[in-house]
A and B are shown apart, each in its own frame.
Chain A
Amino acid sequence: KAGVTQTPRYLIKTRGQQVTLSCSPISGHRSVSWYQQTPGQGLQFLFEYFSETQRNKGNFPGRFSGRQFSNSRSEMNVSTLELGDSALYLCASSRQAVGNEKLFFGSGTQLSVL
């Protein structure tokens, strides 16, 4: 069974640009969550999608958005990039959208904003 796939693995952008990251969950998983990891800050929750609906959103500005398609694949978009957006962006999938479900993470997209 294929794991969670995130593309691209690495991305370099400049301030003001926008970026789209992609996540393909494990087959059969309907929930996709996105997290931002920065050095010393752990995993900060961005948002969660279940059956194409955003169920929950973390405390991030509106420049961060996402969506989920009918095949459960998900994308997240960051507009007007800032230097502080440089981070590892992780996608996780689970069967159901419940807090005690085990999450399966992708390897992440390392975004560098110059």
Chain B
Amino acid sequence: DQQVKQNSPSLSVQEGRISILNCDYTNSMFDYFLWYKKYPAEGPTFLISISSIKDKNEDGRFTVFLNKSAKHLSLHIVPSQPGDSAVYFCAASGGGSQGNLIFGKGTKLSVKP
């Protein structure tokens, strides 16, 4: 049973517009959420995170929103750039060791010039 779901395998956006990537989770014990970005032939790189005590965290063009009641988080990229084209993984943690870090299956974002 998937505890972290990214229901959109792919997303295509025009350069300069907003990209919204969604993630749902089922485990109410998760208290920390992270987004990683992965380019082909490279390992994932950390993008942004949010603690469950917050509902929003912003870092430049990237903002993550957390809706605990809906068990939903989203990553907003504004404005989107062609270099943002990558696979984005949502991950959730319930604390403890890294074994509690659960990843979604990823969403492939394509930003078209």
Which residues of A does B touch, CB under 8 Å? 4, 6, 31, 33, 35, 40-45, 47-48, 50, 55-58, 90, 92, 94, 97-108
Q: Which 4 A-B pairs have the closest CB atoms?
A: A56-B99, A105-B43, A99-B93, A42-B105
How far is A58 from B43 in the complex, measured between Cα atoms in Å?
20
- CB of B98 within 8 A of CB of A42, answer no
Contact B89 A100 (CB under 8 A): no
- Across the interface, do B103 and A43 meet the contact criterion of CB distance under 8 Å? yes
CB-CB under 8 A for A90 and B44, given A45-B101, A103-B101: yes
Q: Mark B31-64, 1 if CB is under 8 A from A, else 0.
A: 1101010000111111001010000000000000
A74 to chain B, nearest CB (A): 12
* Contact B95 A98, beta carbon cutoff 8 Å: yes
Asked whether any CB of chain A lies closer than 8 Å to the CB of B82, the reply is no
Interface of chain A: mostly helix, strand, loop or mixed: strand
Total contacting residues, chain B, CB less than 8 A: 30
Are B43 and A107 in touch, CB under 8 angstroms? yes
The smallest beta-carbon distance between B1 and chain A, in angstroms, is 12
16 contacts between A and B (CB under 8 A): A42-B103, A42-B104, A42-B105, A43-B89, A45-B102, A48-B99, A50-B97, A56-B98, A57-B99, A92-B98, A98-B95, A99-B95, A99-B98, A99-B99, A102-B34, A106-B43
Instruction: Say whether, besides A43-B44, A92-B43, A103 and B98 are in contact (CB < 8 Å).
Output: yes
